[in-house]
Amino acid sequence: MNITVKLFATFRNGRFKMDHQDWPEGVDCRRIVASLGLTEEEIGIVLINGRHVPLDQVLGHGDTLSLFPLVGGG
């Protein structure tokens, strides 16, 4: 199934801003994070379609996954 993956801040270094990826049914955020060479400790914010989710959240067809390191403050 089709998943849009968006990366932000330092996660973009050597990777991409946005990528359309094909994943089997039942994939969770953790698996996609691992495929990007990111460790769980590095992950600050995980959003699916703009909603905060835990790493073990399962994705559905057409979902957008956004990943941020721990950053922020205004």
Partner 1 sequence: MNKILRVNMTDLTTRTEPVPAAWAGLGGRALTSTIVAAEVPATCHALGENNKLVFAPGLLTGTPAANSGRLSAGAKSPLTGTIKESNAGGTAAQMLARLGIKALIIEGLPTGDTWYSLHVSNEGVTIQEETELLGKGNFAVIEALEARLGKKTGILTIGPAGELKMTAANISVKDPDSKIRSHGRGGLGAVMGSKKIKFITINDQGAPGVKIAEPEKFKVAARTFAKALLDHPVSGEGLPTYGTNVLVNILNEAGGLPTRNFTSGQFHAHDTISGETMYETIVSRGGKHKHGCHAGCIIQCSQVYTCTEGKYLTSGFEYETIWGLGADCCIENLDDIAQADNIMDDIGIDSIETAVMFGVAMEAGILPFGDGKGMIRLLEEEIGKGTPLGRILGGGAASVGKAYGVTRVPVVKNQAIPAYDPRSVKGIGITYATSTMGADHTSGYTIATNILNVGGFVDPLKKEGQVELSRNLQIATAAVDSTGMCIFVAFPALDIPECLPALIDMINARFGISLTGDDVTNLGKQVLKTERQFNMDAGFGKEHDRLPEFFKHEPVAPHNAVWDFSDEEIDEFWNF
CB of 66 to partner 1, least distance (A): 5
Q: Which of residues 55-74 bind partner 1 (CB under 8 A)?
A: 66, 68-74
Q: Which is nearer to partner 1, 1 or 69 (CB)?
A: 69
Alpha-carbon distances, residue 12 vs 22, 25, 58 (angstroms): 20, 26, 23
Secondary structure in 3-state letters for 1-26: CEEEEEECHHHHCCCCCEEEEECCCC
Q: Which is nearer to partner 1, 12 or 35 (CB)?
A: 12
Which member of 10, 58, 60, 62 binds partner 1 (CB under 8 A)?
10
Q: Which is nearer to partner 1, 24 or 54 (CB)?
A: 54
Q: Enumerate residues 6+ apart whose C-beta is below 8 A from 51.
A: none
Q: Is 15 in the site for partner 1 (CB under 8 A)?
A: no
